Amino acid sequence: AMSQEQQQLVSVIRGVHEKLRFDYQSTGDEERVWEGHCRDAELRKRYADSMLRLATTIWPFRDRIEWCHQTLRNYFYEGGLKRALRSLPSFDQNAESAMEHALRLLQLPPGGKVRLLDVGSCYDPFRCYEDIEAVAVDLTPAREGVLECDFLKLRVTDPSGGRWSPYVLTDPLVELPAASFQAVVLCMVLEYLPSCFQRWTFCRKAAALLRPYGLLLVVTPDSKHQQRNVAMVASWREALGNLGLPKLRYEKRQHLHCMAFYRCGPVRELCEGEEVAEARKMYIPQDSRDYVALFSRVGVEERDEAADVALGEGFSELPDCVDL
């Protein structure tokens, strides 16, 4: 069973997600909802502190971060990139020259560190890896060293001269040059956003910030068994594929979907109609819950028992994100 502290932390996180979804369903105005949330510094601070406490002391600390690191190592240093190149329809039989070309575009020096942008980082968990140069950003940093950044509003600028400079890292961070990173991580962050279009915006920006052949790692919670949300995973995969990011790897952990995509070729420019159609594919199961009805019940009926049991069991494992 969950300890009392766990229950309190979970209810803070879940409460923030549900309030955002309720506000969005009530108004249909995602920008206004987000601006209101950004103004509520106290609520965001409470959320960030709860997330930090849960993520570092209660959830099996390394699971999702280890998965990202291991996938990254495999791709950049253990032949994963070469295998990915071979699977491309446009693959030239001369594997070595294709590989050299990809490495040149990636700008990853032999034995160099992978420059990684960790979006919605909270506490910069990647800083402890020797082979990663992490840039951690969060709307509400919970630790020093994490840059404050509203990623929805972040401007992606033309890369000047094409060489990376740490001088672009201001705090708060309001802009970054395109194609600056060999890897971008969206871990436990997309479900925080109340609308499909906002999740799509995160993915689009992540794609624009990746170097060619760079890696996008997406981790999202799921308390259900493997088959339950298989349609959602397929839908995300299709949207990202249409952006120019084919799937590299997918794994369902007990309470997580772990996905890796790589950027092959330029990020596709889409017309407005296509943009809307792709954004709709970035749904989460909670989008179909009626939060307005849920919140209007007198005193919000207590969650049904099964949900609470699932919640408790999940947290002893990982964020059953309790359908966070």
- Provide the b/e sequence for 112-149 (b: ≥16 CB within 10 Å): eebbbbbbbbbbbbbeebeebbbbbbbbbbbbeebbeb
| Closest C-alpha to 210, from 250, 240, 251 | 240
Burial class (CB in 10 A: 0-12, 13-18, 19+), 62: exposed
In whole numbers, what is the pLDDT of the chain averaged over residues? 88
Pick the CATH number of 62-289 from 3.90.230.10, 3.40.630.30, 3.40.50.150, 3.40.50.300: 3.40.50.150
Query: 272-280 vs 196-209: helix axis angle to the nearest 10?
Result: 110
Q: What was the pLDDT predicted at 298?
A: 43
> What mean pLDDT do residues 61-71 have?
88
Three-class HEC string of 217-263: EEEEECCCCCCCCHHHHHHHHHHHHHCCCCEEEEEEECCEEEEEEEC
Domain boundaries, the chain: 62-289
- Over 60: is that where the pLDDT of 186 sits? yes
**pLDDT, greater one: 52 or 311:** 52
> What mean pLDDT do residues 234-246 have?
97
> What one-letter code names the amino acid at 234?
A
Q: What is the pLDDT of residues 257-270, one digit of tens each?
A: 999 999 988 888 99
> What one-letter code names the amino acid at 319?
P
How far apart, in Å, are the Cα atoms of 175 and each of 44, 154, 183, 207? Answer: 22, 5, 17, 15
Q: What is the pLDDT of residues 2-61, one digit of tens each?
A: 788 888 998 999 999 999 999 999 999 999 999 999 999 999 999 999 999 988 887 665
Q: What was the pLDDT predicted at 136?
A: 98
